Amino acid sequence: MSASAAPRIGVYPGSFDPVTRGHEDLIRRSLAFVDRVIVAVAVNVAKQPLFTLEERVSLLRETIRLPEVDIRSFDGLLVDFARSVGAAVIVRGLRAVSDFEYEFQMALMNRTLAPTLETVFLVPAFDLTYLSSSLVREVARFGGDVSQLVQPSVQQALRKKFGR
Ligand code: PNS
């Protein structure tokens, strides 16, 4: 893109409860087609999160230290947040067929609410395809090794949460 063009901004929204190596992979991949990524941590997640909003944001900040990436939290509708930061695209990961229905519904609803905002789905790295925050929480809860799945700071935060 030319030096004078406005930077292309992507929003990568989620619960990040907690951030995993899968999220990190997607953030890096999205930088191939946007100039800045705003990681948007949802204040209100459907289920009671393990980590508080502040913990989820600070674990992301400790994990992702790239100049092109900002970590922010948002409340309310994602499309309103995306508009407020001037984003052109919403980035989501599509890991398996099981993700598809929920993701498709969300993308279509977001398009209804904001017709010019595109949702882009990225395929994660092969070895991270079946990784999710909920699996990480489950394994960590029972003392399993999650060192391949999350950064050391997240691993430590999980140990502290579960008293292990
Ligand atoms: O990591 P998650 O839990 O799959 O992320 C879901 C999230 C936070 C992206 C989604 O629930 C969301 O966008 N929430 C904000 C409220 C909103 O805009 N809802 C309408 C989307 S259809």
User: pLDDT of 101-158, one tens digit each?
Assistant: 999 999 999 999 999 999 999 999 999 999 999 999 999 999 999 999 999 999 999 9
Nearest to 39 by CA among 21, 55, 54, 24: 24
- Whole-number Å distance between alpha carbons of 96 and 39: 22
The predicted structure's pLDDT at residue 46: 76
* Residues 37 and 70: beta-carbon distance below 8 Å: yes
CB 106 less than 6 A from any atom of ligand 1: yes
The predicted structure's pLDDT at residue 97: 86
Whether residue 124 has a cis bond before it, omega within 30° of 0: no
For residue range 53-80, what is the model confidence (pLDDT) as tens digits?
999 999 999 999 999 999 999 999 999 9
pTM of the model: 0.95
- Whole-number Å distance between alpha carbons of 85 and 78: 11
The predicted structure's pLDDT at residue 162: 96
CB 108 less than 6 A from any atom of ligand 1: no
The pair of structure tokens assigned to 9 is 């901004």
The predicted structure's pLDDT at residue 128: 92
CB 82 less than 6 A from any atom of ligand 1: no
Nearest to 37 by CA among 101, 82, 74: 82
Gap from CA of 14 to ligand 1 centroid (Å) = 6
Does 3 score more than 60 pLDDT?
A: no
Gap from CA of 163 to ligand 1 centroid (Å) = 30
The predicted structure's pLDDT at residue 72: 98
Sorting pLDDT into bands at 50, 70 and 90, what band is 4? low
